[in-house]
Structure 1
Amino acid sequence: MHNSRWSSAVRMSYLAAIAGVLVALLALPTVGGLALVVRDGATGFLDLPHDIHRLRPAQPTRILDADGGTIAEIADKRRDPVPLEEVSPVMAEAVIAIEDRRFYEHGGLDLRSVFRAAVRTAQGDLQGGSTLTQQYVKNVLVESAESSEEAADARAVSIGRKVRELRYALGAEHRMTKREILEGYLNISYFGNSVYGVEAAAQRYFSTPAENLSLRQAALLAGLVKGPALYDPVQRPDAARDRRDTVLESMVRTGAVSRKEAEAAQARGLGMNLSPPAAPAGCHSSDRPFFCSYVLTWLQERPGLGGDAAQSEKWLKSGGLTIRTTLDPAMQRAAQQAVEDSVPVGDASGKVAVGVLVDPATGGVRAMAQNRDYGLDSGGRGVTAVNFAVDAELGGSAGFQAGSTFKAFTAAAALKEGRGFGTSFDSPRSTTVSGMRSCSGEKRPDWRVRNHGDSTSGKHDMLTGTRNSVNTYFAQLQKRVGLCDTVQTARALGVHRADGAPLGEWNSFTLGDQEVAPLTMASAYAVFANRGVRCEPRPVTAVSDGAGTDRLAPSCSRVLPRGVADATSRVLSQPFKPGGTAAALGIGRPAAGKTGTTDNAAAAWFAGFTPGLAGAVALGDPRGAAQHPLRDVTIGGTFYPTVYGGTLPGPIWQQTMREATEGTREEPFPRPPGRFTGGGSGADRPQGGDDSTRRVPDVVGRAREDAVRALEAAGYAPSVGEVTVPSDEPEGRVAATNPRPGADLPEGAVVNVFVSRGG
């Protein structure tokens, strides 16, 4: 783009010839046959790649929340790029004066400097002769290197590197303006003391932005580029001052400043005002650090990211990506506040409280909170780098025993086999269950199980057994269903151990004495909310690299029949009813869930959901449950003889869900098929007759998608007509249904939906 009167082809041929001579001169000490070397050097020069735009210097990656707000910037080097307009003009003049005073005259190659360097190199004294453009290219080659070997090659003092650098420099001059090259150079150059770019350098050495740099400050920084360690103003202030004065002399020779201005600056000291070195951008500087670390680890674990772990990490830290996530900032604030209100950060108890929210329809992780500050765990209370919400392989822990939250999987397995709500057992305070077998057919020993804590004894069916979390009921239900069927149902819902070991197939499976992560339980319960469809939990919706965007669609599949999922939701709504273990935990809208408490008070849980949001809360002790159980403990200033699922995890879930769902439309749970109500206690049966007949809801005036969801939730099969109809309702809204709203129809009947095209 420079002002040359030559055509590109003629100019490039001329420069290729010059390059051939340059190669010959540089090779003179070892090669004979000058003409042959000139010819081969020119040909090789033209064959080299030249487009600097195909190289991408290291750029920070931005992680955004669902609203587009910045969660964090990730980089392996601290660099704050700024446009040239935000750099003091005297800084640009100082760099040009000391590094390349003919910058605006040449086209990337300064022949005077090159031939002088070539002759001296041929005499055994390797010289530079690089233009500012070539220096910019060298830095880009180093920054864009995909391995340490490539980076070393880009820095090598060799003929090959010089020629390749020159080819790219000519390409840069052809594709970029001088201002763009200068701006790139100032933002990519190293200024010593782990500082990259002029903005970071101005802040580090003078605690001022680059646009406010004075003459003597700019001269000092310009002098650092040639030898950041040699002229280090912190460790070698005298050398730095001499170098600064040299820069000022060069500026006088170029006419950038007057002799008087230079002497005035030379008479003064360095004038530094050091700021603490800024750490590279990363999750540690985010206010949502644990979710941030989960995003990075999740992406590195995904196939197709490219290369090995080291290459993936480099790509994430220097690829200039924009990562759009599923995190809802309002929901995150609600979850974090609820966790810290009950179990403050640094609480003397040492207990960790964790909360996770998941969108059932997409698997998107909407919130991830824990009562810890992010940092290297040095033994200090309340500080950790462990994300207790996720599995160990994703940067988490070995998990927490989930307690009675596992009873939901036993109920789902029973319903899947066609057993109804009325499936009942005499459930005494203790009983012995025998004859259970693992999936391999191995017989399990007799199991003595007892009720305790928030359970009651007596005759129970599936509804009252769940309402009161009766251990002896679920032990017998698991035997009736089969241990293997129960385990396989849990696996189908995505349940797995946090430590990576296989799920244990033992008698007490239904009581949840296996360690899982809160994200796993929130995702599993989300299957019930999503009517049997499981969506793999994910924190990312799209990744952009400047050239394109990779959108990561939800990965969903049906793992339970719709009617079974709806019936399980009905079962799990029972704890919220009077006398239930979650009777005081209502959130002002339809909800379902289950408390979880382990026999040895190792951990306490609550997992629950609405039709549109699922969440799980776990409370435990990372120092070890056996040594630090949830008994006789003071948490948040309150003493607890024993912490149950409804004691702390339940209220944390309640507070989180109330705030997270505020302002969203309230939806009812779908009515389960009538086949599950027979033979039971009838306590949960709707008043007014057969559960398989109901009334068409009024969806007139609602958006088409909302109307379809409401009709499906009511148990009908909506059919939206392709032809719109005239109506007083706004265009795109539902104008009418057939049968009309309020009509009595059997479950599964088709309801025709007609969309308005306006009046």
Structure 2
Amino acid sequence: MTGAGGKGTGALRRRHDLARLAGTAALAGLLVAALVLPWVGVLGLMGRDTARAFMAMPDELEMPHLSQRVLLTDVDGERIAEVAEREREVVALDRMGTWAPAALMAIEDARFYEHNGFDLQGFVRAAVRTLQGDTQGGSTITQQFVKNALIESAVTDEEVALAQERTLSRKVVELRYALGVEERMTKDEILEGYLNLAYFGAGAHGIEVAAQRYFSVPAAELDPGQAALLAGLVRAPSYYDPLSNPEAARARRDLVLDRMVAVGELSEAEAARYAGEDLRLEPTPRGGSCYSSDHPFFCDYVIRWLSRTDVLGETEEERLQLMRHGGLTVRTTLDSGMQAAAKAAVDDRVPSEGSAKFAVQALVEPGTGEVRAMAQNLRYGFDESDPGTTSINLAVDRIDGGGNGYQAGSTFKAFTLAAALDAGLGYGTSFSSPKELEVKGLTNCDGGRMAPWEVRNAGESSAGSHNMLSGTRGSVNTYFAQLQRKVGLCETARMAERLGVHRADGAPLGVWSSFTLGDQEVSPLTMAAAYATFAARGVHCEPLPVRSITAGRPESKSYREIPVESDCEQVIDQQVADGVNHLLQEPLNGGTAAGLGIGRAAAGKTGTTDSAAYAWFAGYTPGLAGAVAVGDIRGGESHPLEGVTIGGRYYGIVYGGTLPGPIWSDTMSRATASLPANGFASSPKVFGNPDAEPEEDDGDDDGGDGIQAEE
């Protein structure tokens, strides 16, 4: 079948109105008279007039675009998912084999190749019985093809209802269109179109998917018994469904086999042999959704992204319509090897069986934003009684199918470092950083003065005099509180925004005193993309899950390939990014992430929130960035990571370096194996000695009232 989609609601209503004008019981009777007995007296005169009116009705049916599946592949072109509103695979008639067309014609329209789209005997029978209140079939395959085409073209429920009306007026419209179709299409084209359009139940549209659904074979390999069962379904797919009503399906199949004998397609012995067999079903589970994908969360993310990107259309309606039509091959950015590494790491460290604890990870390529992996330990499902399942993609924002995100803890300190270097401060910027202190004098971006802020170091930090190097190495809260005050609270928040950081729930970032300690709820994908900005020497790229979209088949005139370009921008100076890269190697070199090296240049930062509600690690190499979050699906605030046993190991408290860090390390060791072992650029001299020892701060920046410290 070829041609554009249907005309929409207006066109269908016009068809309906035409039927109303032409369609009454009397008109149907006169139409039959006109076609059969135009020479009979007054009745003949009335018949000829009616026939002229009938023939003046529009007869050119616009062929709908047949809805097919949207195929998702990984970056190498390997299939990872198929999604469809109507699961269908369009195939040519010569790829349907012999028996499916033969069985269909035997039961539905044995004279298909002989008539012109109108079977007088069937039409009269249907008209009479419908007038008597007993609606009957009798339509030719051509008429059924027209009906299915009108349904396929329908957009709204109202249009579908109009196309399915079981009235004489609708049959009149179908007949007029059928005569037009017969003039413009060959019989083979009509039969092919019908078998691709027809619905066979169980979500299977078209003979190819039906053969796969019920027998796990292509249509070309159907035998007469299998073909007879499928041909019998088109009359009433729900009632004759062999999966739910095998007795009715078998009786219907045997009736089709008898009809195949009657029209000479089978011998009585052959039909008896197939009728003597059971249904021999070998069903393939229904596809057509992310649920059946090996990577359901990533699949869901891609589909949601497609519905919003202007690559498929300027409006959401246009994009959704194109996706409903399908026939698209979407080459995603997923690297199956990296995905396997990420999935194995989260599953091994935080098993989902019988636990509500989650581990989630996102990997992004610096310089392109391409999403290489998206893995979580919880299984995709909708069973609220099973804590090991969820339909929420924990790696992404709420708008992308995720939740409200999680506080990222000290991973936010990287943004304070970037703001400080951007402001011209050097590595040697030092503060006395005791166990506890009170910070005063902070102002937000509206100029509002913040209340005094009590800060204390976490258990993994050490008090004393610290500069940027040692403060980063030990993740010293009291050091970063003072560094944020020196560079400015607003400046720190604005730096995070420049790097692409935003709240997962869509609300604006909260600019308050504890910003540097990561009390904002963000997604792992956002953090991976932000850290990838450092790896790309200041170039931030929006996360991108799709590399290209192909519409149609290479041999078709409608074939086209749409490349998808990265959305990237230089948001900070290269030397600022290089400085951050130098500083963030400190946690891995004897700091809070000691022992998590991956055998090549890497940088990263641990993060643990107050009361161990969530633990994080965000890190990167020059070629790959990743962020890991660990928590409890029931809410980390009420189910903290304290005194817990995860994966058979007891944790008094889970820090970023004790569980998320190893997940990241396990993943990156495998995921980067095929990447060049590049190093980071040298530390910029403008920021001073890259190995400077901390010096005691003179306190001049505090204005006399900014910091109050106590051990």
TM-score range, shorter chain: 0.7 to 0.9
> 2:6 — aligned with what?
none
CA distance in 1, matches of 2:404, 2:373: 20
Aligned positions of 1:399-438 closer than 5 A:
399-438=405-444
CA distance in 2, matches of 1:541, 1:488: 30
Aligned positions of 1:235-384 closer than 5 A:
243-244=252-253, 246-259=255-268, 261-262=270-271, 264=272, 268-269=275-276, 271-274=278-281, 278-303=285-310, 315-346=322-353, 348=355, 350-384=356-390
Cα deviation code 1:169-204 (max 9, x no counterpart): 567657765445434433432334555444555566
Q: 1:42 aligns with which of 55, 73, 88?
A: 55
Cα deviation code 1:60-113 (max 9, x no counterpart): 111111010111111234556665556552332222122222323345x24645
Q: CA 1:458–1:139 in structure 2 vs 1: closer, same or farther (change >3 Å)?
A: same
Compute the TM-score of the two structures, normalised by the length of structure 2: 0.83
- What is the Cα deviation at residue 397 of structure 1? 1.8
- What is the Cα deviation at residue 380 of structure 1? 0.9
Q: 2:533 aligns with which of 506, 509, 527?
A: 527
> 2:679 — aligned with what?
668
Q: CA 1:240–1:118 in structure 2 vs 1: closer, same or farther (change >3 Å)?
A: closer
CA distance in 1, matches of 2:378, 2:164: 43
Residues 428 and 693, structure 2, Cα contact 8 Å, conserved in 1? no
Residues 503 and 520, structure 2, Cα contact 8 Å, conserved in 1? yes
- What is the Cα deviation at residue 314 of structure 1? 6.1
> 1:224 — aligned with what?
233
Q: CA 1:360–1:33 in structure 2 vs 1: closer, same or farther (change >3 Å)?
A: farther
Give the letter for the 1:576 counterpart.
Answer: L
Cα deviation code 1:413-439 (max 9, x no counterpart): 111111111111111222111000111
* 2:602 paired with 1:591: yes
> 1:397 — aligned with what?
403
Compute the TM-score of the two structures, normalised by the length of structure 1: 0.78
- What is the Cα deviation at residue 246 of structure 1? 4.8
Q: CA 1:461–1:174 in structure 2 vs 1: closer, same or farther (change >3 Å)?
A: farther
- What is the Cα deviation at residue 622 of structure 1? 1.6
Q: CA 1:444–1:244 in structure 2 vs 1: closer, same or farther (change >3 Å)?
A: closer
> 1:101 — aligned with what?
110
Q: CA 1:564–1:230 in structure 2 vs 1: closer, same or farther (change >3 Å)?
A: closer
> 1:682 — aligned with what?
692
- What is the Cα deviation at residue 593 of structure 1? 1.2
> 1:657 — aligned with what?
668
- What is the Cα deviation at residue 136 of structure 1? 2.6
CA distance in 2, matches of 1:188, 1:28: 28
Residues 94 and 219, structure 1, Cα contact 8 Å, conserved in 2? yes
CA distance in 2, matches of 1:136, 1:328: 43
- What is the Cα deviation at residue 307 of structure 1? 9.3
Residues 347 and 636, structure 1, Cα contact 8 Å, conserved in 2? no
Residues 56 and 140, structure 1, Cα contact 8 Å, conserved in 2? no
Residues 91 and 218, structure 1, Cα contact 8 Å, conserved in 2? yes
Residues 189 and 225, structure 1, Cα contact 8 Å, conserved in 2? yes
CA distance in 2, matches of 1:150, 1:327: 39
Give the letter for the 1:466 counterpart.
Answer: T
SS at match of 1:149: helix
Greater alpha carbon shift after TM alignment, 170-179 vs 131-140? 170-179
Q: CA 1:166–1:642 in structure 2 vs 1: closer, same or farther (change >3 Å)?
A: same
CA distance in 1, matches of 2:244, 2:640: 54
Q: 2:156 aligns with which of 119, 144, 147?
A: 147
* 2:504 paired with 1:495: no
CA distance in 1, matches of 2:165, 2:65: 20
SS at match of 2:611: coil
- What is the Cα deviation at residue 299 of structure 1? 1.9
Residues 204 and 274, structure 1, Cα contact 8 Å, conserved in 2? no
SS at match of 2:612: coil
CA distance in 1, matches of 2:504, 2:385: 23
Q: Which runs of 5+ in 1 are unaligned?
A: 2-18, 685-759
Cα deviation code 1:524-581 (max 9, x no counterpart): 111111121211112112223323333221111222122222222122122222x322
Q: Which runs of 5+ in 2 are unaligned?
A: 2-18, 32-44, 553-557, 695-711
Q: CA 1:89–1:395 in structure 2 vs 1: closer, same or farther (change >3 Å)?
A: same
Residues 374 and 383, structure 1, Cα contact 8 Å, conserved in 2? yes
Give the letter for the 1:327 counterpart.
Answer: L
Aligned positions of 1:569-584 closer than 5 A:
569-577=581-589, 579-584=590-595
> 1:71 — aligned with what?
80
Residues 28 and 122, structure 1, Cα contact 8 Å, conserved in 2? no
CA distance in 2, matches of 1:214, 1:356: 48
Residues 461 and 681, structure 1, Cα contact 8 Å, conserved in 2? no
Aligned positions of 1:169-248 closer than 5 A:
169=178, 178-192=187-201, 195-199=204-208, 201=210, 210-211=219-220, 213-228=222-237, 243-244=252-253, 246-248=255-257
Aligned positions of 1:546-565 closer than 5 A:
546=552, 547=558, 548-565=560-577
> 2:27 — aligned with what?
27
- What is the Cα deviation at residue 142 of structure 1? 1.7
Q: CA 1:432–1:656 in structure 2 vs 1: closer, same or farther (change >3 Å)?
A: same
Greater alpha carbon shift after TM alignment, 613-622 vs 123-132? 123-132
Q: CA 1:105–1:382 in structure 2 vs 1: closer, same or farther (change >3 Å)?
A: same
CA distance in 1, matches of 2:254, 2:597: 74
Q: CA 1:622–1:309 in structure 2 vs 1: closer, same or farther (change >3 Å)?
A: farther
Q: CA 1:616–1:140 in structure 2 vs 1: closer, same or farther (change >3 Å)?
A: same
SS at match of 2:438: strand
CA distance in 2, matches of 1:234, 1:122: 31
Greater alpha carbon shift after TM alignment, 237-246 vs 481-490? 237-246
- What is the Cα deviation at residue 479 of structure 1? 0.4
Aligned positions of 1:460-471 closer than 5 A:
460-471=466-477
SS at match of 1:362: coil
SS at match of 2:363: strand
CA distance in 2, matches of 1:85, 1:506: 69
Residues 224 and 232, structure 1, Cα contact 8 Å, conserved in 2? yes
Q: 1:61 aligns with which of 63, 66, 70?
A: 70
CA distance in 2, matches of 1:380, 1:236: 31
Greater alpha carbon shift after TM alignment, 643-652 vs 269-278? 269-278
Residues 50 and 170, structure 1, Cα contact 8 Å, conserved in 2? no
Aligned positions of 1:151-166 closer than 5 A:
151-157=160-166, 161-162=170-171, 165=174
Residues 68 and 89, structure 2, Cα contact 8 Å, conserved in 1? no
CA distance in 2, matches of 1:285, 1:237: 25
CA distance in 2, matches of 1:613, 1:318: 36
SS at match of 2:587: helix
CA distance in 1, matches of 2:687, 2:631: 36
- What is the Cα deviation at residue 645 of structure 1? 0.9
- What is the Cα deviation at residue 610 of structure 1? 1.4
Cα deviation code 1:222-241 (max 9, x no counterpart): 33323445656677777666
> 1:600 — aligned with what?
611
- What is the Cα deviation at residue 653 of structure 1? 1.0
* 2:141 paired with 1:135: no
- What is the Cα deviation at residue 582 of structure 1? 2.0
Q: 2:643 aligns with which of 627, 632, 646?
A: 632
Residues 207 and 273, structure 1, Cα contact 8 Å, conserved in 2? no
Identity %: 52
> 1:617 — aligned with what?
628
Cα deviation code 1:114-166 (max 9, x no counterpart): 87479859977877653323323322332342222222232224566556645
Give the letter for the 1:590 counterpart.
Answer: A
CA distance in 2, matches of 1:24, 1:450: 85
- What is the Cα deviation at residue 608 of structure 1? 1.1
Residues 68 and 87, structure 2, Cα contact 8 Å, conserved in 1? no
CA distance in 2, matches of 1:431, 1:159: 86
Residues 467 and 693, structure 2, Cα contact 8 Å, conserved in 1? no
CA distance in 2, matches of 1:38, 1:282: 48
